[in-house]
Amino acid sequence: MNKILTFILVALLTLPSFSQEEATQEEKEQTTTYYFIRHAEKNRSNKDDKDPPLVINGQLRAAKWSLVFEHVQFDAIYSTDYNRTRETAQATSEMQNVYITIYNPRDIDVKSFILDTKGKTVLVVGHSNTTPMFVNAVIGEDKYKQINDTNNGNLYIVTISKSGDISDILIVIN
């Protein structure tokens, strides 16, 4: 079952890249695509540790994300300034040779973020509460709720077309 879900996910992620090949350069420059994920599994052994690293399963998930994204060429990768989010972004960052930009989800100006990333393909790594909040701000709708604390497999894909039309999808990967 996991192999089928992985195949479907890879197919969904690579289809936009095939359609982009047929798009004109102007259309490519005007379409913006965001991939939002929550950090992978963190170390929960010390409840007082506010900045824990990933556990082995989290490191494996981070590596799997990089494989999921291997056919998506990111122009930018954003992460909050925590070990678990930076470590989750690291494998994709290294594979694609894209620097990780640190952002503060409490201070981010979403309108400026959208303008700054217009026409780009962007990965954003956040948290169970900040990721859905960020997606909602980008789509302009209170659609997604906080992620369950045991769920590290949500992938939100948001596309803003040249005309400003917004589409979004949530894919859950176990």
Global confidence as pTM: 0.85
CATH class of this structure's domain 2-172: alpha beta
Instruction: Give the pLDDT of residue 98.
Output: 98
- 160 vs 61: CA distance, rounded Å: 27
| Structure confidence at residue 12 (pLDDT) | 47
Task: List the structure tokens of 6.
Answer: 């992985």
pLDDT at site 121: 98
pLDDT at residue 133 in the model = 97
Read off the pLDDT of residues 65-107 as tens digits, 9 standing for 90 and up.
999 999 999 999 999 999 999 999 999 999 999 999 999 999 9
Q: What is the DSSP letter of 54?
A: B
Q: Mean pLDDT in the chain?
A: 89
Residue 19 pLDDT more than 60? no
β partners of residue 33: 121, 159
pLDDT category, 56, cuts 50, 70, 90?
very high
Q: What confidence score (pLDDT) does residue 174 get?
A: 81
Distance, in Å, from the CA atom of 23 to the CA atom of 41, rounded to the nearest integer, reads 37
Q: How confident is the model at residue 30 (pLDDT cuts 50, 70, 90)?
A: confident
pLDDT at 162 over 50: yes
Q: Which two tokens stand for residue 72?
A: 């998506």
pLDDT in tens, 32-43: 999 999 999 999
Structure-model confidence comparison of residues 122 and 23, the more confident one: 122
How far is it, in rounded angstroms, from Cα 131 to Cα 144? 9
Specify the higher pLDDT residue, 123 or 173: 123
The domains of the chain are located at: 2-172
